[in-house]
Amino acid sequence: MAEDDPSAPLDREVLAEQSVTSAWQDLPAYDRQLLVTISASQWQVTSRSLGLVVHDLLRSAGYAGLTPKEAAALGDAAGVWIAELRLVLINAAHRALDDLDDSSYEAMLARIAWHEWAHALSVVRATQEDVFAGERLLGLAPDGVADVIRRGGYRRVEYTHELVAEIYALLMSRCRRGEHGQPPWLDDEIYDLVRRVSGWSE
């Protein structure tokens, strides 16, 4: 039997699992502990549409499944946190990942994972006042971030959670590159919100 070639490219699902594991290990220790505390430290990598996977997981856990409209909406998602199951799901075969080389693929999977973990922390830890301030906070966000959220079709009550998730993922990407502290492009109020909700202290 021929031995495995260590230089051969990894299967994408294997690489995705390794990428998410590495992303988890790169999180600040306090942030990881917060995720464990709110039972949001589990994840699953799949190559199926997230709408189908979420529907099946909810049904198998005794919950009502998704409506066709809800399943279709999740079909376009690269990642999602299922609050009922305390589980982060990541689609390793999402079309946005198709043409990426392994290095870019790994970086994108990490960003998706960081986004979903921060989203979970925001849903659990953000105050009602934070949620109500979502529209105003979005006006303070960098244009690129604000545009992504506005185009995403989110309800206004989701703006704060999406903003925290997007900014946290960007901060983690900077941290991985060796850049720390508050970036000059980030408003003080948003930075303080992300630190308070996620425990960010890098």
* Beta bridge partners of residue 88, listed in sequence order: 43, 81
Q: What is the pTM of this model?
A: 0.91
Q: For 2-54, what is each residue's pLDDT tens digit?
A: 344 444 445 878 899 999 999 999 999 999 999 999 999 999 999 999 999 99
Distance CA 160, CA 166 (A): 10
| Sign of the torsion angle spanned by Cα atoms 29, 32, 34, 37 | negative
Rg (CA), the chain: 17
Q: Which residues pair with 43 in a beta bridge?
A: 88
Split at pLDDT 50, 70, 90, the class of 76 is confident
DSSP line for 113-156: HHHHHHHHHHHHH--HHHHHTHHHHHHHS-HHHHHHHHHTT--G
pLDDT reported for residue 10: 58
pLDDT tens string 98-154: 899 999 999 999 999 999 999 999 999 999 999 999 999 999 999 999 999 999 889
